[in-house]
Amino acid sequence: MSGNAKDRLIVALDVPTMLEAAGIVESLGDEVSFYKIGHQLAFVGGLDLARELKAAGKSVFLDMKLLDIDNTIAKGVENIARLGVDMLTLHAYPKAMAAAVEAAKGTDLTLLGVTVLTSMDDKDLSEAGYHDDAATLVLKRARQAARIGMGGIVCSAEEAEPVREIVGENMAVVTPGIRLADGEAGDQKRVVTPDVAIRSGASHLVVGRPIVAAADRRTAARQFLNQIETAQSA
């Protein structure tokens, strides 16, 4: 994985308008080189923004969390690959992952399997009908993703270390729910600091509100980058 901290920090553009997203990108300038576009922004022009970011030399993580029948997954992945984005998420169900891997063959698209959302805990999973607790389900899906040939996993940094042991060094381990030690958790239930996440085996950290809602976004981003750099050199 890259030793450049900027390649490992992904800023989430989880805002409602293109104007706000463009303002965030402009204010961060060359401090940030990797952005996540999710559902909120995708449906108001976010896919066009993805193309613009790629044209500007940035990396793009398209967080669509796809889940559908095999054919629909395959056709969606084929079109997304043509956008030229770097990463794409889908829920880590074996059939969906297998269809996506086949569709992405020959492209540079990194497919990421979403294991368990960081906003969910064991109680939430039980209410949703799952028998496994969060940690067990994450590891089960990591094994399936590695076997199927996915490019990486999305999980809480709390599970990054055992996931890294399962998937080896070549797969991405992308961890949302990252907060500074004095930061607010918000709606995240399984949060970890940047330095701990990196030392636990995370390849990429996804950070949204602590940067995009900061009064000084560049300074906020630099705080996260500093912790990544410190963890890398430890």
Binding residues for substrate: 14, 36, 63-72, 118, 179, 188, 208-209
- Residue 187 annotated among the catalytic residues of the structure: no
- Residue 63 annotated among the catalytic residues of the structure: yes
Catalytic: which of 54, 58, 68, 133? 68
Catalytic: which of 6, 65, 132, 133? 65
Residues annotated within a binding site = 14, 36, 63-72, 118, 179, 188, 208-209
SS3 letters for the chain? CCCCHHHCEEEECCCCCHHHHHHHHHHHHHHCCEEEECHHHHHHHHHHHHHHHHHCCCEEEEEEEECCCHHHHHHHHHHHHHHCCCEEEEECCHHHHHHHHHHHCCCCCEEEEECCCCCCCHHHHHHCCCCCCHHHHHHHHHHHHHHHCCCEEECCHHHHHHHHHHHCCCCEEEECCECCCCCCCCCCCCCECHHHHHHCCCCEEEECHHHHCCCCHHHHHHHHHHHHHHHHHC
- Residue 121 annotated among the catalytic residues of the structure: no
Tell me which residues are annotated as active site.
63, 65, 68
